[in-house]
Amino acid sequence: MKIAVVEGDGIGHEVIPVARRALEVLRPDFEFFPVEVGYGKWQRCGQAMTEEDMEALKSADAILFGAITTPPDPDYRSVIVQIRKTLDLYANIRPVSGKGFDIIIVRENTEGLYSGMEKIEKDSACTVRCITRKGSERIARCACRLVKSRRELTIGHKANVLKSDVFFRDICIAEAQRANVPFRECYIDALCLDILQHPEKYDVILTENMFGDIVSDVAAFLVGGLGMLPSGNLGDRYALFEPVHGSAPDIAGRNIANPVAALRSAAMLLSYRANDRTGAAAIEEAIQQVLARGIRTKDLGGSATTTEFGDQVIRELARRSRT
- Contact footprint for ligand ATP (CB under 6 A): 11, 15, 67, 69, 226-227, 245-248, 250-251, 257-258, 261, 299
3-state SS, residue 90: coil
State in angstroms the smallest separation of the CB of 217 from ligand ATP.
Answer: 8
Task: Please say whether the dihedral angle defined by the alpha carbons of residues 92, 95, 96 and 100, taken in this order, is positive or negative.
Answer: positive
Q: Closest approach of Cβ 156 to ligand ATP, in Å?
A: 21
Q: Among residues 112 and 259, whose Cβ is nearest to ligand ATP?
A: 259
- Between 135 and 243, CB nearer to ligand ATP: 243
DSSP helix/strand/coil, 9? coil
Half-sphere exposure of 135 (CA within 13 A, CB side): 24
Of 165 and 299, which CB lies nearer to ligand ATP in the complex structure? 299
Alpha helices in 205-276 (DSSP H): 209-219, 260-268
Please, what is the minimum distance in Å from the beta carbon of residue 103 to ligand ATP? 19
Nearer to ligand ATP by Cβ, of 110 and 216: the residue is 216
Q: CA-CA distance, 153 to 204, in Å (whole number)?
A: 5
Of residues 172 and 228, the one with the C-beta less far from ligand ATP: 228
Q: Is the dihedral angle over the CA atoms 134, 136, 142, 147 positive or is it negative?
A: negative
Closest approach, Cβ 223 to ligand ATP, in A, equals 12
CA-to-CA separations, 201 to 140, 267, 288, 298, in angstroms, rounded: 20, 25, 24, 30
Minimum distance of ligand ATP from residue 306's CB (angstroms): 8
User: Closest residue to ligand ATP, Cβ-based?
Assistant: 246
Q: Which residues pair with 92 in a beta bridge?
A: 107, 233
